[in-house]
Amino acid sequence: MMPSKGTEPGPMKHLSDQELMRIVQGGDYAPASEIYDRYSGRIYNFAFRFLKNAEAAEDATQEVFVKMLKYANQFHGDAKLSTWLFSITANWCRDYLRKADNKAKETEEVLISLPAPSELAPDRTLERRENEQLVQKALQALTPEQREAILLSRYQGLSYAEIAQIAGCSEGAVKTRVFRAMETLKKTLAGFGGRDGVGRVAPLEAGERGVI
Amino acid sequence: MAECSALREKLPLLLTESLDAAQRELTHQHIENCVECSDEWNAYRETWRVMDELPELEVPARVKARFLEAAGLSGAAGSQPADNVVPFHRRPSFKWIAQAAAVAVLVGGGFFAGNRTAPRIQPSGVFVNSIQDRGSSPIQPLSIAETRVVDANTISPVIEGRPNISNVTFTDADAADNRIGLSFDITSRWTVNGNPKDKSMVRLLSYMLENESAISPRSTTLDMVRQAYSNPANADPEIVSALAKVLRNDEHEGVRLRAVDTLTHLPPSGSTSPTRDALIDALKSDPNPAVRIKAVEALAIIARSGTLDAEAVDTLRQKASQNDENLYVRMKAAEALKNIKP
């Protein structure tokens, strides 16, 4: 399937998700790039935090958007595109974890990139890495269902109704998962010292972002 | 108190702003008048705040390039691989229309007979023409749904064409028996069991490292290689060469990191081995500092075995004093040099 000559990428930015998907459903893949730009960051971050594996997160991101094109006709305009994409992503991640070969890799930490020396002072870099690992480890201590719920709620801002749709359960079940997740996170982070453990973690400075 | 217990279950909902206005108001009123619940609420809020410590990660540009290529839109985004990494030319993945049309061609002795639409890379330089069953009985045509389990020593180590292998899994049921299993989908589900030294096993693993388009199966294959070939009894130069190629050519830094790690775990094979050459190349030119640091660490391990030559030491010296090199790489190189005996 190729992009139609009449559909230019520029004006795509002004189209809604539903309008873009209608074009895709008509057999024209020209909006693929625009849809990817809108959602790939959220999909990648969710998969990375869920699986704690950068390589798998890349595979997940690519395959989610390939599936979006392949199964475009299964998308109905009554749901948000983000909800549908997160459903595909969550399914991919659950399948990944189900495979025995991948379970052992959940806790592996691969140092993907290092900041340039001038970007951040070495002690601050180490502190940031330590804090990030602290939170990531706490997330890994959750069950996959709880982790999915808290990642979608806390980091992706999805409503409980949307999470229920993605997880294939009731809203009540999502509330329970989030509650249990928060209880566990509170206890896990409390194990690291300070006031309830979490007091020693330095707050983020405004505008500080980046991969370490 | 029962009231406190009921309220505390609502605290996470209060955090996620999921309570209706009336419940929110009641909950806040209780928190203001109950010291214990107020402490609990503060602990939840602090936990919630600490969760901000996770940075937002950027999606590597190659993911978009791979996606658009799979969708037949590769001209739409110009993402080039890192300068110093010459990527493998893998089979394109997700060509679902072509795959759906594929049929089993496992007839009359041909094990793999893939198409040749993509340029062919010879992973080990000794790839031959086809993997064939050497058993005495003739091979019957296979249906797509069929599952086969074969012994590696009953098939020829010859792979024909560039078959698209997917869904790779490994088994090592008994670590003591020096046998491993390799399962994958081609036109049907195959499991090849055998000794790591079987050439069929070596070449299947090498093939997967170079031709698997998804990243995580390549990474899984590297884990399997490390597990099976770190035993000196299984040492195989073809595996070392395949890993060296991965280190030079794989476009994913995580896979290259794992390749260095795997090379480090293999039995030492001397200072002029492909391992040493690949590590020096990686230290000189890999675009990713984490890979260069891993290469320094691996060279330091070789140095401790007393087999590091002058070129490797020179490369470390150069890196330790190179002003425009990443600070961490320079520090690691200097540290490695300190530990090398003159």
Q: Residues A51, A63: one domain? A: yes
* Nearest residue in A to B14, CA atom: A179
> What is the CATH number for A51?
1.10.1740.10
Distance from CA of B256 to the nearest CA of A (A): 10
Q: Residues A145, A58: one domain? A: no
Tell me which of B239 and B182 has the higher pLDDT: B239
**Which residues 53-72 in chain B show a CB within 8 A of chain A?**
53-60, 62-64, 66-68, 70-72
**Which residues 65-94 in chain A show a CB within 8 A of chain B?**
65-66, 69-70
Of A76, A111, A146, which one is at a domain's C-terminal end?
Answer: A111
Question: What local confidence, expressed as pLDDT, does residue A122 receive?
Answer: 61
Could you report the per-residue pLDDT of B79-95, keeping only the tens digit for each? 444 445 555 555 444 34
Complex-level ipTM = 0.79
E strands, B51-103, are none
Q: Domain count of chain A?
A: 2
Nearest to B47 among A66, A102, A186 (CB): A186
Predicted confidence band at B2 (pLDDT cuts at 50, 70, 90)?
Answer: low
Q: Does residue A212 belong to any structural domain of this protein?
A: no
Instruction: Show the domains of chain B with their CATH numbers.
Output: 2-53 (no CATH), 96-338 (1.25.10.10)
Nearest to B166 by CA among B240, B231, B102, B87: B102
Question: What local confidence, expressed as pLDDT, does residue A178 receive?
Answer: 92
Q: Residues A107, A118: one domain? A: no
Of A85, A111, A137, which one is at a domain's C-terminal end?
Answer: A111
pLDDT at B146 over 70: no
% of chain B at pLDDT higher than 70: 73
Q: Residues A74, A137: one domain? A: no
pLDDT at B189 over 80: no
Domain range for residue A152?
Answer: 113-200
Predicted confidence band at A98 (pLDDT cuts at 50, 70, 90)?
Answer: confident
% of chain B at pLDDT higher than 90: 16
Residues 6 or more apart whose Cβ sits within 8 Å of residue B293: A111, A114, B328, B329, B332
Residue range A49-75: mean pLDDT, rounded: 92
Q: Residues A100, A18: one domain? A: yes
> What is the CATH number for A142?
1.10.10.10
Of A111, A143, A175, which one is at a domain's C-terminal end?
Answer: A111
Give the A:B interface size as CB pairs under 8 Å: 183
pLDDT at B247 over 90: yes
Residue range B300-323: mean pLDDT, rounded: 82
Question: What local confidence, expressed as pLDDT, does residue A165 receive?
Answer: 93
Predicted confidence band at A46 (pLDDT cuts at 50, 70, 90)?
Answer: very high
How far apart CA A131 and CA A120 sit, in angstroms, is: 15
Question: What local confidence, expressed as pLDDT, does residue B64 receive?
Answer: 93
Q: Residues A102, A140: one domain? A: no
Question: What local confidence, expressed as pLDDT, does residue A80 receive?
Answer: 92
Tell me which of B17 and A51 has the higher pLDDT: A51
| Chain A residues with CB-CB distance to B288 below 8 A | 112-113
Residue range A36-59: mean pLDDT, rounded: 94
The 3-class SS string of chain A reads CCCCCCCCHHHHCCCCHHHHHHHHHCCCCCCHHHHHHHHHHHHHHHHHHHHCCHHHHHHHHHHHHHHHHHCHHHCCCCCCHHHHHHHHHHHHHHHHHHCHHHHHHHHCCCCCCCCCCCCCCHHHHHHHHHHHHHHHHHHHCCCHHHHHHHHHHHHCCCCHHHHHHHHCCCHHHHHHHHHHHHHHHHHHHHCCCCHHHHHHCCCCCCCCCCCC
B285 interfacial to chain A (CB closer than 8 Å): no
Tokens of B220: 């899984």
What average pLDDT is seen over chain A? 79
Question: What local confidence, expressed as pLDDT, does residue B341 receive?
Answer: 62
Could you report the per-residue pLDDT of B116-126, keeping only the tens digit for each? 333 333 333 33
Nearest to B327 among A55, A117, A155 (CB): A117
Q: Do A55 and B219 touch (CB under 8 A)?
A: yes
Question: What local confidence, expressed as pLDDT, does residue B141 receive?
Answer: 40
